[in-house]
């Protein structure tokens, strides 16, 4: 079962694919929540907003995540990292939802 997790909570990994989304829109969160209900894979999705201003928690979840999705319009600054993708109008990923669709499709196509 997939989970959406927000500050200050954390969750035991238990085999889930773990992602962090920084500054997702309400539309992004709603669309991802609907998608996760139908996904055959388990995801833990950590949500962080710039106004939370708790960089220790953000650093912890990034360290434990498989992937980080970073909204291009956020004020949160992140170093480029091997597990970082930006999303937004000027990016390859237009929405955070596209990441989850691509992730699931790739696993299905590879028989995982």
Gyration radius of the chain over CA positions:
13
Long-range interactions of 5-14: CB distance < 8 A, separation 24+: 5/44, 5/45, 5/46, 5/47, 6/46, 6/47, 7/48, 7/52, 7/54, 7/57, 8/54, 8/57, 10/60, 10/61, 10/64, 11/44, 13/44, 13/64, 14/42
40-68 pLDDT, tens digit each: 999 999 999 999 989 999 999 999 999 99
pTM: 0.93
Q: What residue ranges define each of the domains in the chain, with the CATH number in brackets? A: 3-109 (3.40.50)
How many residues does this entry show for the chain? 112
85-106 pLDDT, tens digit each: 999 999 999 999 999 999 999 9
């Amino acid at each position: 079962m997939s989970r959406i997790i927000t500050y200050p909570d954390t969750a035991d990994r238990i085999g889930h694919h773990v992602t962090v989304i920084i500054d997702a829109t309400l539309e992004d969160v709603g669309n991802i929540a609907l998608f996760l209900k139908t996904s055959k894979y388990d995801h833990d999705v950590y949500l962080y907003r710039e106004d939370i201003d708790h960089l220790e928690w953000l650093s912890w979840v990034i360290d434990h995540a498989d992937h980080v999705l970073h909204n291009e319009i956020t004020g949160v600054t992140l170093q480029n990292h091997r597990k970082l993708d930006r999303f937004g109008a000027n990016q390859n990923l237009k929405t955070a939802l596209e990441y989850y669709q691509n992730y699931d499709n790739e696993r299905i196509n590879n028989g995982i």
